[in-house]
């Protein structure tokens, strides 16, 4: 029940913890071998990442994973303000419900032009067919983590292409009751493949206007992309350089937390699934 553990017992506990870590490391290494085969660099990255996540999620109630939009290469601090606001809103709501959490980003590509050129074949395949080896890797990671930490809840947070990636992972996972997904502004090519379960919140409108990228409004989408280079050049000439993605102006394809309908739906989803006090009141009534 409480109190201190003797120094002798501390030694035993330490040995058990070390033994447990070595066993975990062996399991992760075996998993890396199955996924990456002779790719030593890939195996090393996977092993290091998964062991780090397993260590950091110990004692946490929630593991939040942000899948950025676009190429999936933008650090959270450099994402568009509305995308950051969603991640911050989800985190704040989970904290308000009384839980502790760990947030990471899953960056699907590097940020350099070379990285984009290297990944263009896979990204094109994912956009057109929904196929990506990175989906299988993340699904494998999440299976492993939730099987070893059975009290941990996982929430994928994705916008645009990030939403498509999250949904592809959920499809790969199938029935894993610990894993949930919040998907905002899914691009229309992914719609026929989308699967929505009771653990998925899928939003195709921000409540202020239809999302042209979700509703196959090709004219609006084409206009946004064709005019983006001119806005990008203009900003540089004015001495106010901006990331190219910031110059793609697609009204409706933004899901800012300040929009009442966005906040209502996301908070409602989280409250329904994780507010034990509210759920208890519903059962009693």
In tens, the pLDDT along 43-84 reads 999 999 999 999 999 999 999 999 998 777 788 998 889 999
- CA atoms lying within 13 Å on the CB side of residue 236: 9
Q: What is the pLDDT of residue 78?
A: 85
Q: What is the pLDDT of residue 138?
A: 94
Nearest CA-CA partner of 68 in 219, 245, 223? 245
Bridge-based pairing of strands 179-184 and 200-203 is parallel
Q: What is the pLDDT of residue 285?
A: 35
In tens, the pLDDT along 92-127 reads 999 999 999 999 999 877 665 565 566 666 666 666
Q: What are phi and psi of 153, to 5 degrees?
A: -105, 140
Single pTM value for the model: 0.81
Domain ranges of the chain: 57-223+254-284
Q: What is the pLDDT of residue 2?
A: 35
Tokens matching residue 134: 């990175």
Using a 10 angstrom Cβ sphere, with 0-12 exposed, 13-18 middle and 19 or more buried, the burial of residue 90 is: buried
Q: What is the pLDDT of residue 5?
A: 33
Q: From residue 127, give the alpha-carbon distance in Å to each of 90, 108, 132, 162.
A: 26, 13, 9, 11
Q: Domain 57-223+254-284 belongs to what architecture?
A: 3-Layer(aba) Sandwich (3.40)
3-state secondary structure of 183: strand
Q: From residue 52, give the alpha-carbon distance in Å to each of 10, 28, 48, 277.
A: 24, 11, 6, 33
Spacing of C-alpha 248 from chain mean position: 22
Q: What is the pLDDT of residue 142?
A: 96
Residue ranges of the alpha helices (H) in 186-259?
218-237
- Is the dihedral angle over the CA atoms 241, 243, 248, 252 positive or is it negative? negative
Q: What is the pLDDT of residue 213?
A: 78
Q: From residue 201, give the alpha-carbon distance in Å to each of 87, 157, 190, 272.
A: 14, 10, 16, 11
Question: Cα-Cα-Cα-Cα dihedral of 32, 33, 36, 38, to 10°?
Answer: 140
Report how far residue 248's alpha carbon sits from residue 237's, in angstroms, rounded to the nearest whole number: 17
pLDDT along the chain (285 residues), means of 10: 35 46 87 92 93 93 93 84 95 96 87 61 66 89 94 95 93 92 91 93 92 70 57 66 59 89 97 76 39
Nearest CA-CA partner of 36 in 50, 23, 22? 50
Kindly state the helix (H) or strand (E) to which residue 177 belongs, with its residue range: none
Nearest CA-CA partner of 207 in 184, 233, 180? 184
Tokens matching residue 181: 């997904």
Residue ranges of the alpha helices (H) in the chain?
7-36, 40-56, 81-96, 113-129, 133-148, 161-173, 218-237, 260-274, 276-284
Spacing of C-alpha 190 from chain mean position: 17
Share of the chain above pLDDT 70, in %: 70
Bridge-based pairing of strands 101-105 and 179-184 is unpaired
């Amino acid at each position: 029940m409480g109190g201190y553990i003797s120094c002798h017992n501390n030694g035993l506990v330490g040995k058990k913890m070390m033994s447990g870590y070595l066993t975990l490391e062996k399991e992760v290494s075996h998993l890396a071998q199955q996924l990456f085969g002779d790719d030593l660099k890939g195996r090393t990255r996977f092993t290091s990442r998964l062991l780090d996540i397993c260590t950091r999620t110990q004692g946490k109630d929630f593991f939040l994973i942000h899948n950025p939009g676009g190429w999936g290469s933008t650090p959270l601090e450099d994402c568009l303000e509305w995308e950051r606001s969603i991640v911050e809103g989800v985190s704040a709501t989970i904290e308000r419900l009384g839980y502790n959490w760990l947030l990471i980003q899953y960056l699907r590509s590097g940020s350099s032009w070379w990285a984009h050129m290297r990944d263009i074949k896979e990204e094109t395949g994912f956009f057109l067919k929904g196929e990506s080896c990175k989906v299988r890797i993340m699904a494998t990671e999440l299976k492993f983590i939730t099987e070893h930490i059975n009290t941990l809840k996982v929430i994928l947070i994705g916008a645009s292409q990030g939403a498509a990636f999250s949904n592809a992972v959920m499809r790969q996972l199938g029935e894993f009751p610990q894993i949930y997904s919040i998907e905002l502004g899914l691009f229309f090519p992914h719609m026929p493949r989308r699967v929505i379960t009771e653990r998925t919140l899928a939003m195709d409108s921000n409540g202020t206007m239809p999302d042209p990228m979700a509703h196959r409004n090709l004219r609006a989408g084409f206009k946004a992309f064709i005019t983006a280079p001119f806005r990008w050049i203009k900003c540089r000439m004015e001495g106010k350089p901006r990331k190219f993605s910031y110059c793609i102006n697609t009204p409706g394809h933004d899901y800012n937390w300040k929009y009442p309908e966005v906040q209502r739906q996301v908070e409602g989803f989280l409250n329904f699934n994780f507010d034990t006090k509210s759920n208890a009141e519903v059962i009693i009534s």
